[in-house]
């Protein structure tokens, strides 16, 4: 079935050809060798027609062609630039996907389905999720789909020397992050939790059939599930041959493909102090950008703000940085390492990220900005302070 | 001394000259509009997309109201959206428990989101935006 806008476009083009032709009395279909204006020559009393001069006819024809070309180019460019964009509330946040071409709505819907699937696996809040099942019963079969995410979490726990630790959920619960009723646990409580309920390698084990979680421990994969879902969603969009797309999971971003305007992708790193851009990441190549900060998820206890990322040694919320932004070649790495690096003290973090050759931008709690060695080539337009 | 041969006039009539001039002008303007990216972009957003994540999800394009304040109803209750003179937007008040959206303050390029109340407001710019996304 012909689309109405195509029909309209054809009508416009037809009018462009016909109107000047009629106005100039240019023969359209009959023999061009036959004089076109014989009628006029035979009737000299009538007003002479326009553009008897061949050169002028050519000039007019060229301008008309130029005008048609401009219209055609404009319509083609508008269609090429058009994209599909949708936002949905999933995984306790808003996920946005922008995709080219404009008719990729079906693929984007399938990509959102991946977020919904991961939410069913890894939500801390949904009672029926696989993770809730593990937290409530202490066991989870290896065949369950969330098993893959658990293994990835274990791998990142070891890679980050324990700074990425989903078992900190116990501490976060004690601080009131889940019921939003902030309270300060005592030193004894924190020591007890660190000794018996935290440390992924101590509280989570697996045998041939199932995962086993120590009694009283809790896991929260919020620092990884978003990146995991983005990885799955991007596979769907790739399989659907989307030419370019951007997935934004509450600031954890993945982009790939060539935008129609030929410009690089441009991601701003938010400066939490004044909501301007702290720096930019610009790239034609696919990249993941993820930021951990203390300004979006926090609780206020006795007038003091506490962030949700914990120090694995003290069991207390860290306050070294305002934000840590990590750029990586996949969303899992960017998501997990931004959380882990945020938990590291600066003297540890600055050397660790350089050893990992990781592009990182630190905004410290005192307002100073530090770039990792790899970050100097990746972040542009960095504020001086 | 040889006299220069008299050349025929370029335009047969004034009408012909006007038609050619107008055609030339329109063609050149058309090409400028197509070729110049500045024509397509604008510094400040003209509209904002407001999404209420209730069931069913409601999305609407809105312009900045004359009073620069807009009261909307989210999943939990009312929220007040406010604009400044430069087109930055914020959630000035909300019935959500944690008020994180209010504490976020003003936003220029990025969307402002209140997850508990299910409200998102994002600037819509014509043409190429300054940034594709904001990491935060």
Mean of pLDDT values over A208-236 = 95
CB A50, CB B16: distance < 8 Å: yes
Chain B positions in Cβ-Cβ contact with residue A93 (cut-off 8 Å) = 113, 115
Taking the Cβ of residue B4 and every Cβ of chain A, the question of whether any pair is shorter than 8 Å is answered with no
ipTM greater than cut 0.95: no
DSSP B6: P
- Torsion angle (degrees, nearest 10) of CA A310, A316, A319, A322: 30
- Residue A316: Cβ-neighbour burial (10 angstroms; 0-12, 13-18, 19+): middle
Tokens of A196: 């018996």
Task: Give the CA distances from residue A73 to residues A68, A78, A194, A331, in Å, rounded to whole numbers and listed in that order.
Answer: 8, 8, 65, 37
pLDDT at B53 over 80: yes
Provide the mean pLDDT of chain A: 86
CB contact under 8 A, A263 and B128: yes
Q: What confidence score (pLDDT) does residue B5 get?
A: 66
Interchain proximity B53–A89, CB inside 8 Å: yes
Give burial (CB, 10 Å; 0-12/13-18/19+) of A278. buried
How much is the pLDDT for A253? 97
Q: Are the beta carbons of A326 and A290 closer than 8 angstroms?
A: yes
Q: Which of B45, B32, B30 is nearest to B126 (CA)?
A: B45
Pairing of strands A298-301, A304-307: antiparallel
Angle subtended by helix axes A222-239 and A105-122, to nearest 10: 150
Q: Six-digit token pair at A23?
A: 């106005």
What are the CA-CA distances from residue A162 to residues A166, A215, A316, B123 (Å)? Answer: 10, 20, 15, 40
Q: Which of A51-65, A289-303, A316-330 has the lowest mean pLDDT?
A: A51-65
**Residue A241 pLDDT level (bands cut at 50, 70, 90):** very high
What local confidence, expressed as pLDDT, does residue B127 receive? 59
Instruction: For A59-185, list the strands marked E by DSSP.
Output: 84-90, 93-100, 139-141
- The answer to whether A289 contacts B11, with C-beta atoms less than 8 Å apart, is no
pLDDT at A44 over 60: no
Strands (E), chain A: 84-90, 93-100, 139-141, 204-206, 210-213, 244-249, 252-257, 265-270, 277-283, 287-293, 298-301, 304-307, 321-328, 360-364, 369-371, 379-380
Q: Which residues pair with B113 in a beta bridge?
A: B120
| Of B130 and A382, the one with more pLDDT | A382
- Check whether A331 has a pLDDT greater than 90: yes
Pairing relationship of beta strands A265-270 and B133-135 according to DSSP bridges = parallel
- Cβ distance B33 to A74 less than 8 Å, yes or no, reads yes
| Cβ within 8 Å, pair B23-A51 | no
For A73-98, b/e burial (b = at least 16 CB within 10 A) is: eeeeeeeebebbebbbbbbbbbbbbb
DSSP one-letter code for B9: P
Confidence (pLDDT) at B42:
45
**Mind listing the pLDDT tens digit for each residue in A351-375?**
999 999 999 999 999 999 999 999 9
Cβ distance of A50 and B24 shorter than 8 Å:
no
Contacts of B116 (CB under 8 A, 6+ apart): B75, B76, B96, B97, B98
A94: closest CA of chain B, how far (Å): 7
Task: Report CB contact under 8 Å: A267, B8.
Answer: no
**Contact at CB, B12 and A50, closer than 8 angstroms:** yes
Higher pLDDT, A7 or A304: A304
Q: Which of A3, A158, A145, A151 is nearest to A75 (CA)?
A: A3
Average pLDDT score over residue span A211-221:
95
Chain B residue with minimum CA distance to A76 = B34
- Which is more confidently placed, B59 or A22? B59
pLDDT of residue A49: 64
Between A182 and B43, whose confidence is greater?
A182
- Tens digit of pLDDT for each residue in B4-35? 666 666 677 777 778 878 888 887 787 777 66
Q: Which of residues 68-87 of B touch A (CB under 8 A)?
A: none
Question: Residues in chain B, how many?
Answer: 136
Asked if the model's pLDDT at residue A324 lies above 90, the reply is: yes
> Which is more confidently placed, A350 or A11?
A350
Instruction: Name the CA radius of gyration of chain B, rounded.
Output: 27
Q: Looking at the DSSP assignment, which residues form a beta bridge with residue A327?
A: A289
* Maximum average pLDDT range among A12-21, A55-64, A204-213, A299-308: A204-213
Contact B27 A98 (CB under 8 A): no
Determine the Cα–Cα distance for residues B53 and B75; give it in Å rounded to an integer. Answer: 7
**CB-nearest partner of B136 from A50, A180, A270:** A270
- Cα(A18)–Cα(A13) distance, rounded to whole angstroms? 9
- Looking at the DSSP bridge assignments, the partners of residue A287 are A255
3-state SS class at A243? coil
Q: Which residues on A lie below 8 Å from B57 (Cβ)?
A: 88-89
Identify the closest residue of chain B to A262 by CA–CA distance: B128
Q: Kindly tell me if the per-residue pLDDT of A214 is higher than 60.
A: yes
Mean pLDDT (whole number) for A125-133: 94
Kindly state the percentage of chain B with pLDDT values over 70: 77
Q: Which residue of B has its CA nearest to A282?
A: B131
The beta-carbon neighbor of B30 closest among A51, A60, A70 is A70
Q: Which residues pair with A84 in a beta bridge?
A: A99
Lowest model confidence (mean pLDDT) among A36-50, A159-173, A212-226, B92-106: A36-50
């Amino acid at each position: 079935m012909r689309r109405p806008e195509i029909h309209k476009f054809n009508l416009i083009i037809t009018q462009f050809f016909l109107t000047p032709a009629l106005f100039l009395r240019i023969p359209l279909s009959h023999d061009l060798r036959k004089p076109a204006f014989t009628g006029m020559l035979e009737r000299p009393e009538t007003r002479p027609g326009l553009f008897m001069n061949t050169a002028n006819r050519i000039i007019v024809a060229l301008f008309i062609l130029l005008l048609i070309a401009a219209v055609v180019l404009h319509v083609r460019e508008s269609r090429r630039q058009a994209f599909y964009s949708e936002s949905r509330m999933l995984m306790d946040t808003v996920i946005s996907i922008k995709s080219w071409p404009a008719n990729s709505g079906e693929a984007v819907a399938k990509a959102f389905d991946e977020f919904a699937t991961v939410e069913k696996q890894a939500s801390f809040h949904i009672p029926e999720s696989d993770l809730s099942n593990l937290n409530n019963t202490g066991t989870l079969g290896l065949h369950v789909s969330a098993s893959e995410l658990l293994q990835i979490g274990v791998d990142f726990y070891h890679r980050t020397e324990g700074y990425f630790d989903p078992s900190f959920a116990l501490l976060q619960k004690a601080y009131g992050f889940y019921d939003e009723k902030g309270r300060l646990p005592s030193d004894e409580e924190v020591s007890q939790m660190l000794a018996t309920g935290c440390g992924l390698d101590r509280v989570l084990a697996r045998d041939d059939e199932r995962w086993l979680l120590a009694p009283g421990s809790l896991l929260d994969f919020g620092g990884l599930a978003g990146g995991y879902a983005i990885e799955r969603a991007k596979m769907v969009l790739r399989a659907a041959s989307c030419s370019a797309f951007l997935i934004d999971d509450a600031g954890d971003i993945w982009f790939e493909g060539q935008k129609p305007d030929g410009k690089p992708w441009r991601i701003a790193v938010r400066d939490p102090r004044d909501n301007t851009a702290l720096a930019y990441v610009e790239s034609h190549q696919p990249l993941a950008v993820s930021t951990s900060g203390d300004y979006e998820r926090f609780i206020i206890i006795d007038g003091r703000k506490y962030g949700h990322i914990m120090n694995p040694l003290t069991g207390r919320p860290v306050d070294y940085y305002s934000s840590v932004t990590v750029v990586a070649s996949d969303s899992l790495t960017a998501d997990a390492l931004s959380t882990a690096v945020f938990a590291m003290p600066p003297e540890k973090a600055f050397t660790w990220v350089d050893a990992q050759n990781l592009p990182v931008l630190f905004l410290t709690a005192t307002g100073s900005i530090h770039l990792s060695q790899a970050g100097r080539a990746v972040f542009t337009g960095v504020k001086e302070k | 001394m040889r006299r220069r041969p008299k050349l025929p006039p370029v335009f047969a009539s004034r009408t012909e000259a006007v038609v050619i001039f107008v055609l030339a002008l329109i063609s050149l303007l058309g090409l400028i509009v197509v070729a110049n990216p500045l024509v397509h972009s604008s510094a400040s957003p003209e509209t904002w997309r407001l999404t209420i994540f209730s069931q069913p999800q409601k999305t609407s394009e809105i312009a900045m109201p004359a009073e620069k304040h807009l009261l909307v109803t989210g999943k939990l209750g009312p929220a007040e959206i406010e604009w400044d003179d430069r087109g930055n937007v914020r959630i000035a008040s909300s019935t959500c428990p944690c008020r994180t959206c209010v504490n976020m303050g003003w936003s220029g390029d990025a969307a402002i989101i209140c997850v508990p109340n299910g409200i998102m407001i994002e600037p819509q710019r014509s043409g190429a935006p300054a940034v594709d996304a904001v990491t935060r």
